[in-house]
Amino acid sequence: MPKRDDVLSRKVNYSPALRKHVRKYNLNDKLRSITNLLGKDAQNVFDWAQEEAKLRIKKGEEKETNLAKVEFQLISSEAAIRLVKQNHSRGRMTIKSEVKRWTGINTEMPLLYQEAGLRHPQEARNLRHNLFHEAFMALIMHLFPDVATSVPATGEGLTPDLMINHEKFNWTLSVEYKGYRAITLLSESEVLKGMRYQAAYGSSWLVTSTTKSVRDRYKGTLESEKLVKQGIERLERIVKRSRYTGEQKENRGIARKGITHLEKLKGASLKCKLISAEELLDSCREGTPKKALAISTGMEFVKMLREAGFESHADNVLRIMKTPTNRLHSDSVTSVRLIG
C-alpha cells in the first residue's frame, strides 16, 4: 500500500493542463499516491497518458473532451491496476474503497481485476447468478408469457432476486435464486429467507441448483423457531469441519453467513406451508397462487427447462452444478456485474 508523503516520492514532469486540473479539483494527495503506486514507471505512464488522451479524443473514443481530465483518468486507472497486482502478489484482496482512496476512481472490481489479468472472486458468483437468471427468465416467460417481471433494487427492504406480476389475474410471486454447486447444502437459512418473502408477498419460490437440501426434512407447515434451532446446529457442524480446498472454504463461509442470518431471526415466529413447485405453478395457472413457499432442487429445475425445450439453459444450470467456481466461464453472459 502506498505511503503518503508531503511531496511526490518520485519527481515526475507532467503537462501544465494536468497541473491546472489537479489544483482545480484538489487532487494533490491522489496524485502523490498514484505516483507512488506507479513507482519507477511513473514518468513513462504520465508521458503515455498525455499522448493517449490526445489520441482518444481525436478519434472520438472518449465522451469527455477535457484533455487533462482524460489524462488523469488514464493515469488513475493504471495505478489502480498496479494496486490490484501488488496486493495479489502479497496474497491480499483489493476492495473498492481502497481503490477509491488511493486513486480516486470508482470502478467495478471484477472489471478492474480483468484488466489486471486476474479474476475477482465476485466475478464467479456474478456469473453463476446471471446464468441462472437467464435460464429462469426463459422458463417463466415460456410458462406465463403475459407476466411482467422486475428486479427489486437493493436497500428497499426485502429484495428477492425477481418479482413476477400478472396484471390480468392480479397475482404476485417472489423468486429467490440459489445458484450453488450441487454439493453445497441448501440450509435452513435459505429456507427462512424464502419464508420471509412468503410472509411479505404471499407466494414465494426458492429455485436452486443444489441437490443437497434440507427441504425433505420438513413437511407440511414450516415453523421458523424449529428451523432456526436445527439450522444453527447443522451449520455449526459444517463450520467445524476441516477445510482444504477453495470450495470447502467457500462452503464454510456460506455456513457462517447462514448462522448469522439465523441468529437474527430468533423470535421471528414465522409460519408457512411448504409445497412443491408443481403445486405452485398449477395454482398460478388457475389465477390464484397458493400462499406458500415452494423449493426446487437443481435437477428439478433442469428437468423443467428441458421439458420446455431450453436445452442450452439446462446445460448452463448443469455447468453451475458441476463446474468448480474458478473454472466456470461464459462467452455470452457477463460476469462483471449482476444482470436483471
| One domain for residues 205 and 260 | yes
pTM (whole model) above 0.85: no
Last-in-domain residue among 118, 147, 168: 118
Q: Are 31 and 56 within one domain? A: yes
Clarify whether residues 73 and 98 are in a common domain: yes
Is 338 a member of any domain? Answer: no
Cell numbers describing residue 259: 448462522
Cell numbers that stand for 200 in this block: 411479505
Per-residue pLDDT at 154? 64
In a domain, 4, yes or no: no
**Structural domain includes residue 10:** no
Based on the domain organization, do 98 and 132 belong to the same domain?
Answer: no
From start to end of the chain, where are the E strands?
148-150, 162-166, 171-178, 185-186, 204-208, 212-213, 221-223, 271-275, 292-296
Instruction: Identify the bridge partners of residue 272 per DSSP, sorted by sequence position.
Output: 222
For the chain, what is the total number of helices (H) and then of strands (E)? 13, 9
Tell whether 108 and 126 lie within a shared domain.
Answer: no
Q: Does 113 share its domain with 149?
A: no
Checking DSSP bridges between strand 185-186 and strand 212-213, what pairing results, if any?
Answer: parallel
5 inside domain: no
Question: Same structural domain for residues 64 and 195?
Answer: no
- CA 240/CA 217 separation, integer angstroms: 22
Residue 287 in domain: yes
- 300 lies in some domain: yes
Domain containing 296 equals 122-327
**Residue 189 sits in the same domain as residue 126:** yes
pLDDT digits (tens), the chain, 340 positions? 444 433 345 678 888 999 999 999 999 999 999 999 999 999 999 999 999 999 998 888 877 788 999 999 999 999 999 999 999 899 888 999 999 999 999 988 988 988 998 888 788 788 888 999 999 999 999 999 999 999 887 655 678 999 999 988 999 999 999 887 888 889 999 999 999 999 999 999 999 998 888 998 998 999 999 999 999 999 999 898 877 777 788 788 889 999 999 999 998 899 999 999 999 999 999 999 999 999 999 999 999 999 999 999 999 999 999 988 778 888 788 877 777 6
Q: Are residues 103 and 208 in the same domain?
A: no
The C-alpha atoms of residue 337 and residue 109 are separated, in whole angstroms, by 9
If one counts the domains in the chain, the total is 2
**339 located within any domain:** no
Local structure of 2: helix, strand or coil:
coil
Phi, psi of 245 (to 5 degrees): -100, 165
166 and 315, same structural domain?
yes
Cα torsion 109, 110, 114, 116: sign: positive
Report how far residue 145's alpha carbon sits from residue 120's, in angstroms, rounded to the nearest whole number: 36
- Among the candidates 66, 88, 118, a domain finishes at 118
Would residue 336 count as lying in a domain? no
Please say which residue of 118, 152, 168 terminates a domain: 118
Contact predicate 252/239, CB 8 Å: yes
Same domain? 134 vs 275: yes
**Both 139 and 108 in a single domain?**
no
